[in-house]
Each structure stands twice: as C-alpha cells, then as structure tokens.
C-alpha cells in the first residue's frame, strides 16, 4: 500500500512539474511585406561583389521595404522570401526564393533592408515580386 502511494505521489509531482515548467510554444508567424524597392549598394559594400558559388562579377543591391507584424509579440528570425526578375523577366536567383532574414520585427510596421548580389550580365531594372516573410514568436536557440 505504501509503495502505491509513493508511485501516485511521484506521478503527481512529475505531472505538476511538466505542467508548470513547460516552455511556451514557438509558433511560425506570417509577416506582410510591402513597399519593396531596391537601390545600388554603397561603394564600400559593392567592391569586389561576386555571385554565390562562383567568381563571376556581380552587381550589389540593397532591397528595402516595410514588414508588418500583426501580432502583439516580437517576431524573431524572420526569413524573407520573394522573386526577383531582370528586365527580360528572367529570374535573378535561380531555384532560390529565400533572400535573407530579419533578426527582430516588433509589433506594427518596421523598415528592413537586405543585401543581394545579382550577376552583372542581367539587365536592369529589376522586378521585385511576391515578397513575404515568416518568423517565430520566440527566440530560437542557437
């Protein structure tokens, strides 16, 4: 009988501990991205720009815009996705729609900027389409 009471007591303490000390759920939060535009990088950033995975010359651009966090919590580690096309409607980033990330987006509307490199042989103006972002409601451990 005494063993049974000990088992019940330990089970109760374990359940209580799991209930009290459970970490909060970290949900994926969708973030609206709008007013997206681009400009040439400053000279100090553009010097020696090359495309990823090679040594071909590239043009450096800063993509800017606004991100709207509709929740009351800060969004962390938000990935920015979008499609970028050159003047001939050819994709600038082959097989890639993730363009960068924003470390923190507080509730409301925030400005952001990311740096991209575009092969030098792709004609301007660039077309920025289907931009969106998603991040986490809590910090992701590293």
Identify the DSSP state of 130.
E
- Is 50 inside a domain boundary? yes
In this model, does residue 23 exceed pLDDT 70? Answer: no
More confident residue, 86 or 52: 86
* pTM for the structure as a whole: 0.73
Task: Tell me the CATH number at 91.
Answer: 2.60.40
CA dihedral (45, 43, 79, 139) positive or negative: positive
In a domain, 80, yes or no: yes
The 8-class DSSP code of residue 13 comes to H
Domains: count for the chain: 1
Cα-trace Rg, the chain: 23
Percent of the chain with pLDDT over 90: 50
Does a structural domain hold residue 1? no
Q: What is the pLDDT of residues 118-139, one digit of tens each?
A: 888 999 999 999 999 999 887 7
């Amino acid at each position: 009988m005494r063993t049974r009471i000990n088992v019940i007591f330990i089970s109760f303490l374990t359940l209580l501990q799991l209930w009290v000390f459970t970490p909060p759920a970290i949900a994926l939060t969708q973030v609206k991205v709008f007013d997206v535009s681009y400009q040439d990088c400053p000279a100090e950033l553009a010097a020696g720009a090359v495309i990823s995975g090679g040594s071909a010359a590239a043009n450096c651009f800063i993509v800017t815009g606004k991100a709207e966090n509709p929740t009351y919590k800060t969004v962390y580690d938000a990935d920015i996705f979008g499609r970028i096309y050159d003047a001939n409607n050819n994709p600038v980033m082959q097989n890639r729609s993730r363009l960068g990330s924003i470390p923190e987006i507080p509730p409301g509307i925030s400005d952001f900027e990311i740096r991209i490199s575009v092969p030098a042989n792709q004609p301007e103006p660039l077309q920025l389409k289907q931009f969106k972002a998603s991040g986490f409601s809590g910090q992701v451990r590293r």
